[in-house]
């Protein structure tokens, strides 16, 4: 997802995550995983959020998934909570 809020350009990394959405730290606009704005707290009618109110988002796939590896934790065997390749 693009790092900059479309509203006033605040870095979205300053915000926080609620469920599957990121909430901008400045005015609280919320964006879902597709980059669409889902809530503007200052608007009375949330259904009036324009479709163009969205930030660029990018599909991400982990390298492990691409190469067919799976992750399993060794926690049960060793008590170590770090993930390892199997």
What does the binding site for ligand FES look like in residue numbers (CB under 6 A)? Answer: 5, 7-8, 10, 24, 26-27, 29
Q: How far is CA 17 from the centre of its chain?
A: 7
DSSP bridge partners of 3: none
- Cβ proximity to ligand FES: between 7 and 54 the closer is 7
DSSP bridge partners of 4: 11
- Cβ proximity to ligand FES: between 43 and 64 the closer is 43
- Cβ proximity to ligand FES: between 41 and 80 the closer is 41
CB of 8 to ligand FES, least distance (A): 3
Residues 6+ apart with CB under 8 A from 42: 27
């Amino acid at each position: 997802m693009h790092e900059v809020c479309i509203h006033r350009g605040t870095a979205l990394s300053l915000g926080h995550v609620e469920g599957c959405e990121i909430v901008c730290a400045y005015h609280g606009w919320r964006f879902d995983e597709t980059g669409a704005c889902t809530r503007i707290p200052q608007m009375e009618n949330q259904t009036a959020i324009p479709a163009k109110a969205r930030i660029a988002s990018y599909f991400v796939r982990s390298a492990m998934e691409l190469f067919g590896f799976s992750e399993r934790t060794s926690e049960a065997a060793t008590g170590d909570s770090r993930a390892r390749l199997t």
